[in-house]
Amino acid sequence: MKKLLVAATALVFGLGLSNVSGAFAGSSRDYISIVGSSTVYPFATVVAEQFGKSTAFKTPKIESTGSGGGHKLFGAGVGVQHPDITNSSRRIKKSELEKAMKNGVKEIVEVKIGYDGIVVANSKKATAMKLTRKDLFLALAKDVPSGNVAGKTVPNPYKTWKDVNPALPDIKIEVLGPPPTSGTRDAFVELAMEGGAKKFAWIKALKKQDKKAYKALCHTIREDGAYIEAGENDNLIVQKLEANPNALGIFGFSFLDQNTDKVQGSFIDGVQPEFDAIADGSYPVSRPLFFYVKKAHVNTIPGIKEFLAEFTSEQAWGDEGYLTDKGLIPMPADERAKYQAAVKNLTPLTLGDL
């Protein structure tokens, strides 16, 4: 008993000492640390795995923290305890870049990797919906324009899709979508809802006069039960759609791609979310995906250069690359060439670029 206690105490102290020395002497890291968007996560992980298997470097560690969380961690400073790369499902904000620069992260290389489509889908048991962005705005906004009077809004009165647009079926509006913390939700609100709202001339004009009011109108989703926050787990949304053929769901294209036997994408502005339609830009609800590299780390953390080369190689992000298997929509060839060059030269982003 006594010996056991002594041994345990010794171990604890030994461990404690090794911590401290590890913390202060361990100023090196032999793997790449990546944080950021959960939308880019499935793509970044594939590249990381490929990179880890095909090179002598360790496999990068990737945390899914969301775009905002990623930028916060990324911009906190330079040094091994800070991540080297952050993924983002939107472009870095000016404020985020300024903050990073203030924290000593002076040079950041921006890499666009491709596009992601956001789909509105329903069960295969029902017929595909033919929606417009205006329909989506009217069906899901908290306040909608009343009549044709400019500036006048009423709380969303629509109960069925038919109320929104007589061409649509007489089905209760029921949409399962991600919570406000999700990048998918941000993009949906920005691309679909705002796009639909802009169809009203006075709302479009409002953008110039009162940006805050404009955003509040376009970006606020109704809270009366027609829009159901289904959590971050997109698999769950797919399962719920299967159980309820009248419901629509909002999620990333990669989930539609993996579940084509269960769900179908709705037409938006006449275009169905398909690989080619998103790639050529005719599908309206798609967004670019990015990652950002800390230039100061490139020479201190082993493998960053090689990782960037892997990510930007044709076999990864090209038209036939393995990322397309995972649902990434590739950029056109000339855009790829542009970002490849940026990676090669490690051209940093300036405030003027944003």
Partner 1 sequence: MSNSDAINGSGNGRVRTMDIVNKGLAKRYKRERRFRMMGLSAIILSLAFLSLLFISIIANGYTAFEQTMIQLDVHLDAQEIDKENLAAANYLGLIRTSLKKTFPDVKKRRDKRKMYNLVSPGASFMLQDFVMRNRHEIGNTITIWVPADDDVDMLMKGNIKRDVPESERRMNDMQLSWVDKLIASGQIKKVFNTTFFTAGDSREPELAGIWGAACGSFYTLIVTLLLSFPIGVAAAVYLEEFAPTNRWTDLIEVNINNLAAVPSIVFGLLGLAVFLNFFELPRSAPLVGGLVLTLMTLPTIIIASRAALKSVPPSIREAALGVGASKTQMVTHHVLPLALPGMLTGTIIGMAQALGETAPLLMIGMVAFIVDIPGGFTDPSTVLPVQIFLWADSPERAFLERTSAAIMILLAFLVTMNAVAVLLRKKFERRW
Report the interface residues with partner 1, using CB under 8 A: 1-2, 5, 8-9, 11-12, 15, 18-20, 22-24, 26, 29, 31, 33, 35, 41-42, 44-46, 48-50, 52-54, 58-59, 61-64, 80-81, 83, 124, 232-235, 254-255, 257-261, 320, 322, 325-327
- How far is Cα 64 from Cα 70, in angstroms, rounded to an integer? 8
With H, G, I as helix, E, B as strand and everything else as coil, classify residue 352.
Answer: helix
What's the closest the beta carbon of residue 65 comes to partner 1, in angstroms?
8
- 248-252 and 175-177 as β-strands: parallel, antiparallel, unpaired? parallel
Least CB distance from residue 259 to partner 1, whole Å? 7
* Amino acid code (one letter) for 117: G
Q: Rounded to the nearest whole angstrom, what is the least distance from the CB of residue 267 to partner 1 in the complex?
A: 16
**Which DSSP string do the residues of 107-119 spell out, in sequence order?**
-EEEEEEEEEEEE
Of 226, 289, 236, give the one whose Cα is nearest residue 70. Answer: 289
Cα gap 222→312, rounded to integer Å: 40
Contact in structure between 154 and 143 (CB atoms under 8 Å): yes
Q: Supply the minimum distance, in Å, between the C-beta of residue 336 and partner 1.
A: 19
Residue number with CB closer to partner 1 (216 or 333): 333
Is the dihedral angle over the CA atoms 273, 278, 282, 287 positive or is it negative? positive
Helix, strand, or coil here: 310? helix
- Cα–Cα distance, 315 to 175 (Å, whole number): 37
Nearer to partner 1, 35 or 268 (CB): 35
| Closer residue to partner 1 (CB): 39 or 286 | 39
CB closer to partner 1 out of 156 and 254: 254
Question: CA 210, 211, 212, 218 torsion: positive or negative?
Answer: positive
Q: How far is the CB of 23 from partner 1 (least distance, A)?
A: 5
Which neighbouring-strand residues pair with 263? 123
Q: Give the nearest distance from C-beta 231 to partner 1 in angstroms.
A: 10
Question: For partner 1, which is the closer residue by CB, 15 or 149?
Answer: 15
Residue (19 or 282) nearer to partner 1, CB: 19
